[in-house]
A and B are shown apart, each in its own frame.
Chain A
């Protein structure tokens, strides 16, 4: 039993009752969480453990850098494409390749499409059941549900008959006794606050969103041939454009552009008429549930993304904002430098890896990975049957990245806080409008609910930005520009003997960076620091806790055996563990600075 104050301002107490949640479900990959609750069932200590490790960066060594996008894309099939985009940017940065404007526009369309799809699926299919009680929906009055739906949105599927049919289907499903994915859910839990009608409406939209999500990704299919895991290309995009010549049917043509335009409009409609109204309606019942802020009020990080014009990754050209805020200083926004070894470092003090000196962090260029799976002296169970972990020792396959020593939260909320702090209207105004609608102060942003709300606002932002880039593509086509790829430096014979580069994006879950070193036409070193490495990080050498752990602290649980509150806050980050548990090169690399061209 010990109490501990962390350098980043949190009080931990590992006395009381230890509660283990493993597996944490409705996430990507494998995650375990252990918490200690005090006599009042309030969480006083939290331990987040990434429980998988694949070693993709080791596998990349010696490969053709033009292939790296395909390997890294398989880091995650949920945020499919964002690793591939980060990878082609890193390789282009290393080789000094400039891409055509159309390629940049098409890549932005694909990245924004991912944001829209991923946020929508997250809200309805991974997160909603933390707020929505499916069984309660059975006692809803269809007519009242219709009135509720029509009072918050003009979405047409809202008649009493529609909800009556749905209720009948749902009742039949539940009465069958085979509840499928809803089996053993926390139905009737005290932390559920929605009235039956709001629950029924949300279930309707859960199913509608499930039908609709498969339409959104067709933007990837048009430009990348398939989804999940569309195809990308170093130097541009693989899909050629042919609007009016012979063979147009085998390229991006008027028909496929029309499909893209239609999907964009339908996405805007669904997000603005279903997702956002649902978000507001659900949030209005949970305004009192102010927990889960974690690091968001003190330390957030965003690299920025969506370059308006091609080949310019400077702050002014990035439509998603860039910046780091630490110590809660919204008036002091710093610029993260991915190439500066003093900015970003990873620690393994509490991770299942071995460093020569584990008190020190290493920049990704200088990374070392040697797996070292050991449990601490206070762990319970055995090496292959863990009952409880010992967080004073190593306890996760996730490393601990830090920016100038700070643990940071990344993701939609981080981006919105940076955009808000930078006074960028398209981030600040919707945020203020939402707060005003819910009659909440700005501090309410720094919470589980704030994280969930920022994701919704960003889905809407991204859907509208797709329209912007579609119009931009059409304008360039009208001006006669058909170019989609630059092949001047396609052949390895045109490459420098030794070079290195960095690429970054804002993945749906947050800041994502890839670092590549190329020697003799082959990958000599490849590193990725991904959003869930930041958010799901274990403690560092100094004992700073990461975003997941911080966000769980001080949350009261109605019943520790029914960990709904834990799931609710963890899900608000949209954890992605296949991403988080990456591995860096097995060799120590020379310290090197990269130049972002």
Chain B
């Protein structure tokens, strides 16, 4: 085994100029919502840190998280995999199979005990002795526990690992559970979504590698930088909501004008994610911008929260500066504030004033 190299060592030896490297650092800083000053900090981190091994496991899932990850535009997944980290195990793309693949898990757990990242896509089923998901002849849940127990930190990719997602929807025939039900004593960072946005995934990884720490997490274990606000709060169609201009039926004139999708079931008002800000696939669009309401795929239990085309009966109105934790913390206030089914512009304005007051009060506190 050769010496461990830093990210910077590697890319310099690969012929990438310092100028390009610094540009990469600026883009990374921007993608994480950090100011230009952080670019230097990132550059410094990349220059002095070795590439951290990542073991990426797959339980019950559909592989949409892996597919999303490889869509990352900045950084490119090519650079993530070749230069930023060492993706030593990922059964979706790795060259080795069978014994040769399993040997890698043993080697990394031994050699990098407490120093590698376990990235988990999918979740373990607990029924049938765990044998609804078999890897190497054994229940996936065993592999999951072994790999996570020796990790420095665990990333729960997507809604499967974070919440359970589709296979855990009622009646959850396999008793599939989120990974934090079977992993304890390790920091777990949840990156929910079905799948999560590519640049959110690579942003989380970059953050950990850059600052050598977990990003700030909310009470549900999600990075506050990406999951702190509702899609509704930053939706470009929000003015239509506030003005009471709604799509009434698919492909009606209001749909063509880009009005609010609340009445056709949009879950943006109750969904915490970065879709309306980071957007999807290098910023091309996001569900609402392409005419379909948000289905709330980053929320716990979203499959069982009623049909996707049924309008929300109650929307917490806490103001756009509120975070998920604050909404939770002021739930008593929020509960009394529901948007009527036919939200009129004036009513909404009143609510907004009220929520502004609430926010102001919180500021004073």
Binding site for B on A (CB under 8 A): 20-30, 32, 51-56, 58-59, 63-64, 66-67, 70-71, 74-78, 80, 121, 125-126, 129, 134, 165, 168-169, 172-173, 175-186, 207, 210-211, 213-214, 217-218, 220-231, 233, 235-236, 238-242, 245-251, 256, 259, 371, 373, 381, 383-387, 397, 482-485, 487, 490, 561-563, 567, 578, 583
Of the A-B pairs whose beta carbons lie under 8 Å apart in the complex, a sample of 8, sorted by A's number, is A177-B2, A178-B86, A181-B94, A185-B96, A214-B281, A226-B280, A384-B129, A384-B139
Would you list which residues of chain B between 71 and 120 have a CB under 8 Å from chain A? 71-73, 76-78, 81-82, 85-88, 90-104
Knowing A74-B166, A373-B131, the reply to whether A125 touches B93 (Cβ < 8 A) is yes
In the complex, identify which listed stretch (B25-33, B62-70, B184-192, B341-349) lies at the interface while the others stay far away.
Answer: B62-70
B residues in contact with A71, CB < 8 Å: 166, 169, 303
B53 and A178 contact, CB distance less than 8 A: yes
A residues in contact with B98, CB < 8 Å: 20-24, 563
Knowing A66-B309, A210-B78, the reply to whether A25 touches B97 (Cβ < 8 A) is yes
B134 and A30 contact, CB distance less than 8 A: yes
Which chain A residue shows the least CB distance to B165?
A74
Q: Is B291 positioned at the interface, with any CB of A under 8 Å from its CB?
A: yes
Bound-complex Cα distance A168 to B16 (A): 11
B residues in contact with A80, CB < 8 Å: 64, 67
Binding site for A on B (CB under 8 A): 1-5, 10, 13-15, 51, 53, 58, 60-68, 70-73, 76-78, 81-82, 85-88, 90-104, 125, 128-140, 165-167, 169-174, 176, 194-195, 198, 236-237, 249-251, 255-259, 275, 280-282, 284-292, 295, 297, 303, 307-309
B134 and A32 contact, CB distance less than 8 A: yes
Shortest B1–chain A CB gap in Å is: 5
Minimum-distance CB pairs A-B, first 8: A250-B258, A77-B64, A185-B95, A247-B257, A177-B2, A225-B287, A225-B290, A55-B173
Bound-complex Cα distance A141 to B314 (A): 66
A residues in contact with B1, CB < 8 Å: 177
A173 and B14 contact, CB distance less than 8 A: yes
B97 and A59 contact, CB distance less than 8 A: no
B70 and A59 contact, CB distance less than 8 A: no
B130 and A384 contact, CB distance less than 8 A: yes
> Which of A26, A178, A179, A210 contacts B4 (CB under 8 A)?
A178
B14 and A26 contact, CB distance less than 8 A: no
Knowing A24-B98, A180-B88, the reply to whether A214 touches B135 (Cβ < 8 A) is no
> Which of A22, A226, A482 contacts B286 (CB under 8 A)?
A226
Bound-complex Cα distance A207 to B79 (A): 10
A residues in contact with B77, CB < 8 Å: 210, 214
Which chain B residue shows the least CB distance to A371?
B128
Shortest A107–chain B CB gap in Å is: 14
A23 and B136 contact, CB distance less than 8 A: yes
> Which of A26, A64, A259 contacts B284 (CB under 8 A)?
A259
B64 and A175 contact, CB distance less than 8 A: no
B307 and A221 contact, CB distance less than 8 A: no
Among A176, A179, A386, chain B packs the most CB atoms within 10 A around the CB of: A176
Known A-B contacts: A22-B136, A56-B167, A563-B98. Give 15 more (CB < 8 A). Answer: A23-B136, A51-B135, A53-B174, A54-B60, A54-B176, A63-B307, A74-B166, A178-B88, A181-B93, A218-B284, A221-B285, A227-B280, A238-B290, A247-B259, A384-B131
Knowing A226-B281, A250-B257, the reply to whether A207 touches B78 (Cβ < 8 A) is yes
Knowing A70-B295, A184-B104, the reply to whether A221 touches B281 (Cβ < 8 A) is yes
Bound-complex Cα distance A76 to B61 (A): 8
Which chain A residue shows the least CB distance to B101?
A25
> Which of A56, A207, A240, A256 contacts B255 (CB under 8 A)?
A240
Knowing A227-B280, A240-B251, the reply to whether A78 touches B67 (Cβ < 8 A) is yes
Knowing A178-B86, A245-B256, A371-B128, the reply to whether A173 touches B309 (Cβ < 8 A) is no
B residues in contact with A22, CB < 8 Å: 98, 134-137
B residues in contact with A129, CB < 8 Å: 95
Bound-complex Cα distance A221 to B92 (A): 23
B residues in contact with A77, CB < 8 Å: 61-68, 195
Bound-complex Cα distance A182 to B287 (A): 36
Shortest B11–chain A CB gap in Å is: 9
Knowing A54-B60, A172-B13, A386-B137, the reply to whether A483 touches B173 (Cβ < 8 A) is no
> Which of B174, B237, B258 contacts A55 (CB under 8 A)?
B174
B81 and A59 contact, CB distance less than 8 A: no
Shortest B124–chain A CB gap in Å is: 11
B134 and A52 contact, CB distance less than 8 A: yes
A225 and B61 contact, CB distance less than 8 A: no
Knowing A180-B86, A242-B256, the reply to whether A53 touches B67 (Cβ < 8 A) is no
Bound-complex Cα distance A426 to B137 (A): 45
Knowing A26-B94, A487-B249, A490-B249, the reply to whether A53 touches B100 (Cβ < 8 A) is no
B73 and A214 contact, CB distance less than 8 A: yes
What total of A-B pairs shows CB separation below 8 Å?
A: 342
A residues in contact with B259, CB < 8 Å: 247, 250
B3 and A177 contact, CB distance less than 8 A: yes
B residues in contact with A561, CB < 8 Å: 99
B residues in contact with A179, CB < 8 Å: 86, 88
> Which of A20, A59, A578 contacts B170 (CB under 8 A)?
A59
B78 and A211 contact, CB distance less than 8 A: yes
B residues in contact with A373, CB < 8 Å: 128, 131
Shortest B213–chain A CB gap in Å is: 22
B residues in contact with A169, CB < 8 Å: 14-15, 82
A residues in contact with B58, CB < 8 Å: 29-30
Shortest A235–chain B CB gap in Å is: 7
A178 and B51 contact, CB distance less than 8 A: yes
B63 and A28 contact, CB distance less than 8 A: yes
B residues in contact with A78, CB < 8 Å: 62-64, 67
Bound-complex Cα distance A412 to B3 (A): 45
> Which of A20, A248, A484, A578 contacts B63 (CB under 8 A)?
A578
B residues in contact with A259, CB < 8 Å: 284
B137 and A32 contact, CB distance less than 8 A: yes
B133 and A52 contact, CB distance less than 8 A: yes
B residues in contact with A134, CB < 8 Å: 95
Bound-complex Cα distance A385 to B198 (A): 36
B64 and A229 contact, CB distance less than 8 A: yes
A26 and B92 contact, CB distance less than 8 A: yes
A residues in contact with B140, CB < 8 Å: 30
Shortest B245–chain A CB gap in Å is: 10
Shortest A39–chain B CB gap in Å is: 22
B residues in contact with A74, CB < 8 Å: 62, 64, 165-166, 194
A residues in contact with B285, CB < 8 Å: 221-222, 225-226, 256
B290 and A563 contact, CB distance less than 8 A: no
Knowing A175-B2, A180-B86, A245-B257, the reply to whether A67 touches B308 (Cβ < 8 A) is yes
Which chain B residue shows the least CB distance to A74?
B166
A239 and B101 contact, CB distance less than 8 A: no
Shortest B178–chain A CB gap in Å is: 15
B residues in contact with A249, CB < 8 Å: 258
B residues in contact with A245, CB < 8 Å: 256-257
Bound-complex Cα distance A567 to B68 (A): 25
Which chain B residue shows the least CB distance to A170?
B14
Among B66, B81, B102, B256, chain A packs the most CB atoms within 10 A around the CB of: B256
Bound-complex Cα distance A359 to B328 (A): 56
Shortest B48–chain A CB gap in Å is: 16
B133 and A30 contact, CB distance less than 8 A: yes
A residues in contact with B131, CB < 8 Å: 373, 383-384
Shortest B333–chain A CB gap in Å is: 32
> Which of A229, A239, A384 contacts B195 (CB under 8 A)?
A229
Bound-complex Cα distance A168 to B349 (A): 62
Shortest A64–chain B CB gap in Å is: 4
A485 and B257 contact, CB distance less than 8 A: no
A221 and B284 contact, CB distance less than 8 A: yes
Shortest A142–chain B CB gap in Å is: 13
A183 and B95 contact, CB distance less than 8 A: yes
Bound-complex Cα distance A170 to B12 (A): 12
B residues in contact with A490, CB < 8 Å: 249-250
Shortest B95–chain A CB gap in Å is: 3
